[in-house]
Structure 1
Amino acid sequence: MKRKEKDLLGERSVGNEFLYGIQTLRAVENFDLSGIKLGKYGEIVDAFTIVKQAAALANRDTGMLTDEISNAICFACEEIRQGHCYEHFPVDMMQGGAGTSTNMNVNEVIANIALENMGSKRGDYERCHPNNHVNMSQSTNDAYPTAIKIALIFAKNPLIEELKGLIEAFQSKAEEFKNVLKIGRTQLQDAVPMTLGQTFSAYATTLSEEIDRIEKNAELFLEVNMGGTAIGTGINSSLRYREKVIQHLASISGLPIVGATDLVEATQDTGSFIMFSSAIKRIAIKLSKICNDLRLLSSGPRAGFNEINLPPAQPGSSIMPGKVNPVIPEAVNQIAFKVIGNDLTVNMAAEAGQLELNAFEPVIVFSLFDSIHLLTKGIKMLRQKCIRGITANSEHCLDTFRNSIGLVTALCPTLGYDQCSSLAKEAQRSNESIYELVLKYDLMPQVELDKILEPANLTQQQS
């Protein structure tokens, strides 16, 4: 069965099985672009229902909505947040119109659920209209960014939890490998001794720094422009509504949301999205660098570094038998490339805003949520399928440690830079160890040499 609905452009038939209406139908036909539908991002849909519920309650408080309609809208919002209706949000994440298609998709679904709750049929908009009632005292230009900010605050939490899990996995490996001596490298050349545990501890530390950064940047989302409507002047809404809607937003979301002091500025500003995107990009870059290290350290097994073994995930070649590739770190590298590209998209879209509104917020939103979801999944994969199963080639690490020319650096305070440079040059030419050469030329007593070259003295700062 179909029902007739009309809008500015005319009349269309909408399948009665759909909770959305004519404006969503047009959006689906117009924007078949990314193939990623709004319903994929449940946190965005849920955040919109928080905004719509808060608006309905504020409009009731100010006498603009009857209790019956307000209650029905609130029922619909709570029903959607149960997660049963996401298939009724089919608009493409890539869309023109500054998010109007998304906003109307939400308005229409809420209106039709509310109508059924009131005992009416879908599409009977005289009783509960998507624009007149669900969108009352709002514009896409304040409802859309407010919902997105709330959604991003919620979406960051799974990412942070996965990041914490990865940090713990690195810390566990740092403890496991704390006595595995190896040679550190700078510019891919032998440098000075360290432990493999220190390598993994550094990974844990560098990622730990990012949790606070994400949290701090997400705090910018707590300031919203609700009540500003179209361009921030608050047309078709009242000051009392503005106060009430902020109160209800904070109550329903459980977040300390506040209204922006300058709604005209807040309606056109995308600075908070830029800052948050940069924090996501930082994580991606750090993860990619770590994965570069893991691929290098596990390279070989005969002609590479071969200091660690990554757990095998799948056969590595269709032609070379026995080859196993570092496919999990490689996948995370590629996620990082995509996130970095998404950040550039966010920056370009933010810069392209004009006058009182940025029309390109949909691609900002799509890019941010794509990055968050990719990173969340990638971090989980890296922890489960790679980091937890890493083992150390301790004997090989010890051999390179003992034979490294980099040991000579520890002798500089005693023998001097010039003498040590000569030792390093001869060791490289003769293939003798630094240890052997110091004793050969009687440069210091063996007891003193052994003390200087004790692992603890080489890998830890002395008091």
Structure 2
Amino acid sequence: MRKVEDIFGILELPDNALYGVQTARTVVNMSFSGHSLSQYPVYIRSLAAVKKAAALANAKAGVIDEFVCDSIITACDELIAGKYLEQFPVDAFHGGGSIGINMNINEVVATLAGDHVHPTEHVNASQSTADVCHSAIRIALIETAKSLEQGLLRIIRTLELKADELELVPTIARTCWQDGMRVSAGVVFRAAASALNRRMEHVVQAVHSIHRINLGGTVIGSGVGASREYREAVIPILTEVAGLPLQLRPDLFDAAQYPDDLGRLSSEVRLTSAVLVKLAKDLRLLASGPEAGLSELVLPAVQAGSSFFPGKVNPVIPETVIQCGLLINGNDYTIQAAVELGEVHLNLADGLMGTLLMDNLQMLTRTVDHFESRCLSGITVNEDICRQYADSSIPFIVDLKETYGYEQVSLWLKQWGPEQIREKIGRSEKHE
């Protein structure tokens, strides 16, 4: 251990620590969640991309010299390559408007760059935590959302194939959990595919909106502390470094105060999860049984369902989807509440919102993969049971209504039961 000192006193750091006293202060003062920044490598890579772009823009503006710039770039490239994750111990949800996250990246980059590079004077030149973390978290979310989009495309295709496979299998529809009309067993899957396709389009649109960032706005959007040359250069450079079509927010004061772009994306992710949860609940009911339930569908058996009942197989994958949805709902509630926390000139919860949203995207991506590969693709149908349901009383009554009219069939039902109607109408049609 080695001792370091600042105006608040002395702290001990591990001998191998690349971070410094500001990071250590954040760890000591604001750790509470058990989630460290090191658990979010995509965010660390995005922060390093921002620092790299800032160094290039600062060099172009004459704020730092080429030697310092090259040293920072080399250090950032190592972090972008995924090295030194363990050097980011700050709590990902700490207070202070993400100050510890920005200090952590500044100190690690400076140490890797060499003694001639200072964490705030050089690595953080022309920047503030407010524009660095705002921009980096959005880049991280854009990258994270790519996997979800790919997963949704796979699950939509699987649902469409399952709908085609079951198109000619008749069963019964249910409304208000009462028997309804005759319907194809494939309808449940086709409707879900259509809903998810729509949800994916809305997620993609919301992701597109967070390509607008505020780097160059410094603390509250005024740009104070950053030269005009730097502000003009930094977004185009970051676009090239990150490989994304990033743009400057039209109103940087708005960007500092209103992170509703994150609220919108979170809402779209929650709604996408809700569609999946609805489907999971339907599948769990349609596969209930095997003897005392609906037993229309058979879900793939992936593991033992009970430590008490031998041979019992539970719908564990749909139940995982449901529980993922509950967690996503909780995080989204916090995110939407945090939109309101931009007291006057700065929203301090922007980083919390983005990190929770990253959690939601990652959870939903993994859940989509499990749902598609371990459940949906292997579903089979109990065709005999489905046909029995399709030939039951209510579908028969619906068919009669189309021929004889609502009032006439209602009168028959009042006089006789469904089986008597079936018998009488059957005899009449046979006689004719």
* Fold shared by both chains (TM-score > 0.5): yes
Deviation at 1:437, TM superposition (A): 4.0
Q: 2 CA distance for matches of 1:208 and 1:88?
A: 40
Mapped pair 1:190 → 2:179: yes
Partner-residue secondary structure (3-state), 2:158? helix
Deviations 1:151-186 (Å, cap 9, x if unpaired)?
Answer: 111110011111111112211211221111101111
2:191 to 202, 206, 209: 202
Deviations 1:398-420 (Å, cap 9, x if unpaired)?
Answer: 01111241232233232010222
Q: 1:8 to 1:209 in 2, by over 3 A?
A: farther
Deviation at 1:28, TM superposition (A): 1.7
Mapped pair 1:396 → 2:395: no
1:325 to 310, 314, 323: 314
Q: 2 CA distance for matches of 1:202 and 1:77?
A: 47
Partner-residue secondary structure (3-state), 1:87? helix
Could you say which residue in structure 1 is the equivalent of 2:400? 411
Partner-residue secondary structure (3-state), 2:398? helix
Partner-residue secondary structure (3-state), 2:400? helix
2:276 to 280, 287, 295: 287
Deviation at 1:5, TM superposition (A): 3.5
Mapped pair 1:438 → 2:415: no
Identity %: 38
The answer on whether the counterparts of 2:4 and 2:10 sit within 8 Å (CA) in structure 1 is: yes
Deviation at 1:9, TM superposition (A): 2.1
Deviation at 1:102, TM superposition (A): 0.8
Deviation at 1:22, TM superposition (A): 1.3
Could you say which residue in structure 2 is the equivalent of 1:74? 73
Could you say which residue in structure 2 is the equivalent of 1:379? 368
Partner-residue secondary structure (3-state), 1:325? coil
Q: 2 CA distance for matches of 1:22 and 1:421?
A: 81
Pairing of 1:159-170 with structure 2 (within 5 A):
159-170=148-159
Deviation at 1:233, TM superposition (A): 1.3
Mapped pair 1:273 → 2:262: yes
Q: 1:25 to 1:163 in 2, by over 3 A?
A: same
Unaligned runs of 5+ in 1: 116-123, 448-463
Pairing of 1:170-319 with structure 2 (within 5 A):
170-319=159-308
Aligned letter for 2:369? K
Deviation at 1:52, TM superposition (A): 0.6
Q: 2 CA distance for matches of 1:159 and 1:231?
A: 32
1:128 to 113, 117, 140: 117
Could you say which residue in structure 2 is the equivalent of 1:344? 333
Q: 1:314 to 1:359 in 2, by over 3 A?
A: same
Unaligned runs of 5+ in 2: none
Q: 2 CA distance for matches of 1:395 and 1:189?
A: 20
The answer on whether the counterparts of 1:93 and 1:366 sit within 8 Å (CA) in structure 2 is: yes
Q: 1:208 to 1:312 in 2, by over 3 A?
A: same
Mapped pair 1:14 → 2:13: yes
Pairing of 1:144-159 with structure 2 (within 5 A):
144-159=133-148
Partner-residue secondary structure (3-state), 1:184? strand
Q: 1 CA distance for matches of 2:107 and 2:100?
A: 10
Deviation at 1:279, TM superposition (A): 0.5
Q: 1 CA distance for matches of 2:414 and 2:34?
A: 61
Q: How many residues align?
A: 432
TM-score, scaled to structure 2: 0.95
Q: 1:206 to 1:224 in 2, by over 3 A?
A: same
Could you say which residue in structure 1 is the equivalent of 2:47? 48
Partner-residue secondary structure (3-state), 1:313? coil
The answer on whether the counterparts of 2:142 and 2:207 sit within 8 Å (CA) in structure 1 is: yes
The answer on whether the counterparts of 1:405 and 1:424 sit within 8 Å (CA) in structure 2 is: no
Aligned letter for 1:254? G
Deviation at 1:446, TM superposition (A): 8.1
Partner-residue secondary structure (3-state), 2:399? helix
The answer on whether the counterparts of 1:46 and 1:80 sit within 8 Å (CA) in structure 2 is: yes
Q: 1:436 to 1:199 in 2, by over 3 A?
A: farther
| Superposed structure 1 runs of 4+ greater than 6 Å apart | none
Q: 1:253 to 1:418 in 2, by over 3 A?
A: same
The answer on whether the counterparts of 1:408 and 1:423 sit within 8 Å (CA) in structure 2 is: no
Deviation at 1:424, TM superposition (A): 5.0
Q: 1 CA distance for matches of 2:121 and 2:214?
A: 20
Deviation at 1:239, TM superposition (A): 1.5
Measured on the aligned residues, the alpha-carbon RMSD in Å equals: 1.8
Deviations 1:230-281 (Å, cap 9, x if unpaired)?
Answer: 1111111112111100110111112221212322221111110110000100
Aligned letter for 1:299? S
Q: 1:286 to 1:256 in 2, by over 3 A?
A: same
Q: 1:261 to 1:158 in 2, by over 3 A?
A: same
The answer on whether the counterparts of 2:397 and 2:418 sit within 8 Å (CA) in structure 1 is: no
